[in-house]
Amino acid sequence: MEEEYEILENTVKDFNAKYVENNSLKFENESMGKEFVKLLADQGFFSMMGQSGEGAADVKTLSVVLENLAKSVPAVAVKTLLANSFLSLVNDPKITEAVANGSKSGTVTFSDLLVGPGQNGSLLLSDGKIKGEKQFVFGSDSDFIVTLLDTGELVLLKSGFTAGKKLKRLGFRSIGFSAVSVNSSDYDVLSKEGRKVLEKLYDQLSIPVAAISLGMSEAVSQKGLDYAKVRTAFGHYLKDFQPLAFELTSLIAEMEILKRYFEGLISTSPSRKEAMFLKHKALALAKDISKTSLQIHGGYGYLEDFGIEKFYRDSMALSVLFHNEEHEMEDLSTLVFETKAGFV
């Protein structure tokens, strides 16, 4: 890994140790609080991606930060990802400054890319007002929302919207997740070709999302290793039993290979296919390794105090909130076959 990334990694590690680890349950399940969000922003973590409208966004440094934030509390990494996504699309200086310094928050809705047409509510512009309801808004407790209208424009909602009842919360429980009712004349149209802009951003998130997955995998596998070395059963340490040792070792081998691949990609300009390869495998690994680590912990893994179960929930939530198996495998198959593939 390049020196600059190592410095960044150490910075995040120090930040985690100082501000995150002692509050992990609260940050995961309740709220991060304005003070902590400000601290995150003060590190410059919210504005690392640059403007995606100006060509390729800089996802490399962001990915290193996300990977390391995710090791302590994945929700903190995801909050950071949402802020970066938002700032990559919005130009209004007052708003960008407020979100970048953590005094306000912003989110981008990706749900239009994840569920079918008509399943995500409806937002229409009429007589200078945007009205309707948007379903599945992740980050619905934000001050600003970037979202798509039915007619394809990407808009920035600055006020005039309210979050509905919180949806079920598998993961990232401190981040709002609900439908949003909109009746707003306070908005900006960011792009007439909103879907394309959103799709481009979504693509650019492949490596950051993979980075979060890898950070989770590293953290949860370490917990599995640590526990297996001290916990005994039937007169042996758990590490001595082949089923557990082999399973965890195999997954860690996979993780180390992916990490090398990740580090290689962020040192170059990865192709879309390479980025999607990484995301595809990293999301699956995070789920598998969380499951194995939970199993190693037995009943204790099932309790939140041991800090395992949140990875089990979050890894699944991440793979749904920023990923759609069928859509992405169709895209990836087409890239692999170099012709349209995997659509029947």
Partner 1 sequence: MDFELSDDIKEAVVKAKEFANKYFTEEVAEKSDFNEEFPTEIVAISKKEKVLDFSNPWKVLVTIEELVRRDPGLGISVTISAFGAEIFMFFGNDAQKEKYMNPVFAGKRTLGLGVTEAGGGSDVAGIKCEARLDGDSYVLNGGKMFISNGQIADHFLVLARTSPPPSPEKKHKGLSVFVVDSKSPGFAINKLHGKLGVRATNTAELIFDNVRVPKEDMVGEEGKGFYYIMTFFNISRIYVAAQGLGIAHGALDRLLEYSKKYAPVSETGELSENLQLAIAEIATRVEATRNITYKAASYLFKFTPNPIVTSMAKFYAAESAVFATKRAIELMSLHGLTSDLERFFRDAKILDIWEGTTEVEKLIITRMMLKEGGA
Residues 98-117 interacting with partner 1 (rule: CB under 8 A): 111, 114-116
CB atoms under 10 Å from CB of 115, counted, come to 14
- Give, as one character, the DSSP assignment of residue 19: I
CB of 60 to partner 1, least distance (A): 28
Segment interacting with partner 1, rule: CB under 8 A, options 53-61, 144-152, 265-273, 316-324: 316-324
The packing angle between helices 74-89 and 60-72, to 10°, is 150
DSSP letter string, 26-71: HHHHT--HHHHHHHHHHTTGGG-S--GGGSS---HHHHHHHHHHHH
Among residues 67, 153, 218, 309, which is the contact residue for partner 1, using CB under 8 A?
Answer: 309
The two tokens of residue 126 are 């009429």
Please tell me whether residue 344 binds partner 1 under the rule CB under 8 A. yes
- Give, as one character, the DSSP assignment of residue 52: G
Please tell me whether residue 233 binds partner 1 under the rule CB under 8 A. yes
Residues β-bridged to residue 236: 233
- Give, as one character, the DSSP assignment of residue 285: H
Please tell me whether residue 294 binds partner 1 under the rule CB under 8 A. yes
Distance between CA 48 and CA 64 in Å, rounded? 11
Please tell me whether residue 312 binds partner 1 under the rule CB under 8 A. yes
Segment interacting with partner 1, rule: CB under 8 A, options 70-78, 99-107, 211-219, 293-301: 293-301
Kind plus residue range of the DSSP H or E element containing 109: none
The two tokens of residue 30 are 């309740």
Length of the chain as a residue count: 344
Please tell me whether residue 287 binds partner 1 under the rule CB under 8 A. yes
Question: Which CB sits closer to partner 1, 29 or 101?
Answer: 29
CB of 239 to partner 1, least distance (A): 14
Among residues 98, 320, 335, 336, which is the contact residue for partner 1, using CB under 8 A?
Answer: 320
Asked if residue 132 lies in contact with residue 102, where contact means CB atoms within 8 angstroms, the answer is no
**Torsion 325-266-196-160 (CA) sign:** positive
Among residues 53, 324, 334, 335, which is the contact residue for partner 1, using CB under 8 A?
Answer: 324
Nearest CA-CA partner of 51 in 156, 197, 149, 154: 197
Please tell me whether residue 122 binds partner 1 under the rule CB under 8 A. no
Among residues 15, 45, 136, 322, which is the contact residue for partner 1, using CB under 8 A?
Answer: 136
**Torsion 95-48-154-168 (CA) sign:** negative
Distance between CA 287 and CA 207 in Å, rounded? 17
How many residues in the shown chain lie near partner 1 by CB under 8 A? 43
Among residues 225, 245, 316, 335, which is the contact residue for partner 1, using CB under 8 A?
Answer: 316
Please tell me whether residue 291 binds partner 1 under the rule CB under 8 A. yes
Please tell me whether residue 55 binds partner 1 under the rule CB under 8 A. no
Among residues 35, 94, 235, 339, which is the contact residue for partner 1, using CB under 8 A?
Answer: 235
Please tell me whether residue 167 binds partner 1 under the rule CB under 8 A. yes
CB of 238 to partner 1, least distance (A): 10
**Torsion 125-127-133-139 (CA) sign:** positive
What string marks each residue from 4 to 43 as x (binds partner 1 by CB under 8 A) or -? Answer: ---------------------x------------------
Distance between CA 314 and CA 176 in Å, rounded? 14
Please tell me whether residue 128 binds partner 1 under the rule CB under 8 A. no
Nearest CA-CA partner of 157 in 109, 93, 118, 98: 109
Residues 171-230 interacting with partner 1 (rule: CB under 8 A): 177
Q: Which residues bind partner 1 (CB under 8 A)?
A: 25, 111, 114-116, 119, 135-136, 167-170, 177, 233-235, 241, 243-244, 287, 291, 294-295, 298-299, 301-305, 309, 312-313, 316-317, 319-321, 324-326, 329, 344
